[in-house]
């Protein structure tokens, strides 16, 4: 009971921190959302200009889902890398290691808080995109939420891998910029075209969400086997990610790298 209470308090504190930063730097938050929306509208205009009339609606619907989840994935997966980089630049990262909670638990709380806030903003952008394009997607939250939560677990695993590398290397911005294109491939490419991507993180979840939102499939129609693959994928990548981070953290402590930038 005490363990649950301490983790809940840790989450509340970090959720409050994230919301305060979003409000305090409101112009940056608004600019971020506008940038995402403007880029999407440019993609929408391009599809309308060169797309085949018979398939343009399906293409736009898939693009809405893919783009929204690409941005969500970038924010969650790369977020911890930038978070550690910011803490190291400020000279406060080592202080996290002195906390009784431990660095990985603090990062987990921040990751969860960032995920919730980003998902809320993406829902707003999703409805705004549908309103702008005149496209109607099947937003079945009963079906989407369990798929989304399992997909986020694999995202968290990738985020911990990035966090582990950042603890040791520190300057990782160039890698994160390149990694955005890898994440784009995982979210935009359909499993029907590249079945081997089922072994990669994120891809299975996004593919299932596309099936729900574009094709209108329900929870029962997706079947148990799809959820089994998704759950296994999520747990494997989360375990690998957390183990990688903990190893990198121990290595950084042994070499005295936490205090260095």
pLDDT at 137 over 90: no
pLDDT, position 241? 92
DSSP type of residue 72: H
Q: What is the pLDDT of residues 12-21, one digit of tens each?
A: 888 998 899 8
pTM of the full predicted structure? 0.85
Is residue 33 in a domain? Answer: yes
Range of the domain at 171: 2-255
Given CA atoms 235, 216, 128, 141 in this order, what sign does their dihedral have?
negative
Tell me if 134 is assigned to some domain. yes
Is the confidence at residue 89, as pLDDT, over 70? yes
In a domain, 260, yes or no: no
- Number of folded domains that form the chain: 1
| pLDDT tens digit sequence for 150-173 | 999 999 999 999 988 888 887 787
Residue 231, CA atoms < 13 Å, CB-side half-sphere: 7
Between 251 and 170, the higher pLDDT residue: 251
Does residue 142 form part of some domain? Answer: yes
For residue 261, is it within any domain?
no
pLDDT for the residue numbered 260 = 61
Looking at the domain assignment, is residue 232 inside a domain? yes
31 falls within a domain: yes
Judged against a pLDDT cut of 60, whether residue 119 lies above it is answered with yes
What band does 235 get if pLDDT is binned at 50, 70 and 90? very high
Q: Is 214 domain-assigned?
A: yes
Residue 77: name the closest of 147, 165, 15 by CA: 165
Cα 82 from Cα 76, distance rounded (Å): 10
Question: Which residue did the predictor score with more confidence, 94 or 9?
Answer: 9
DSSP secondary structure, 179-236, as one string: HHHHHHHHHHS-TTT-GGGGGSTTHHHHHHHHHHHTT---HHHH-HHHHHHHHHHHHH
């Amino acid at each position: 009971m005490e363990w649950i209470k301490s983790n809940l308090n840790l989450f509340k504190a970090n959720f409050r921190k994230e919301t305060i930063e979003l409000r305090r730097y409101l112009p940056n938050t608004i600019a971020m959302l506008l940038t995402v929306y403007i880029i999407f509208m440019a993609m929408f205009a391009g599809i309308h200009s060169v797309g085949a009339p018979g398939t343009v609606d399906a293409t736009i619907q898939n693009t809405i889902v893919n783009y929204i989840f690409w941005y969500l994935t970038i924010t969650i997966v790369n977020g911890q890398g930038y978070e550690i980089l910011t803490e190291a630049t400020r000279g406060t990262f080592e202080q996290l290691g002195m906390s009784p909670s431990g660095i990985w638990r603090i990062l987990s709380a921040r990751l969860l808080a960032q995920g919730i806030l980003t998902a809320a903003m993406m829902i707003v952008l999703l409805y705004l995109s549908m309103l702008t394009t005149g496209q109607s997607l099947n937003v079945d939250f009963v079906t989407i939420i369990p798929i989304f939560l399992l997909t986020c677990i694999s995202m968290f695993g990738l985020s911990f891998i990035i966090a582990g590398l950042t603890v040791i290397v520190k300057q990782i911005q160039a890698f994160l910029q390149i990694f955005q294109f890898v994440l784009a491939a995982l979210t935009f490419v359909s499993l029907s075209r590249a079945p081997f991507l089922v072994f990669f993180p994120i891809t299975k979840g996004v593919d299932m969400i596309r099936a729900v939102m574009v094709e209108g499939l329900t929870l029962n129609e997706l079947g148990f086997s799809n959820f089994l693959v998704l759950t296994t994928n999520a747990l494997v990548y989360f375990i690998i990610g957390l183990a990688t981070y903990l190893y990198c953290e121990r290595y950084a402590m042994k070499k005295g790298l936490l205090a260095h930038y």
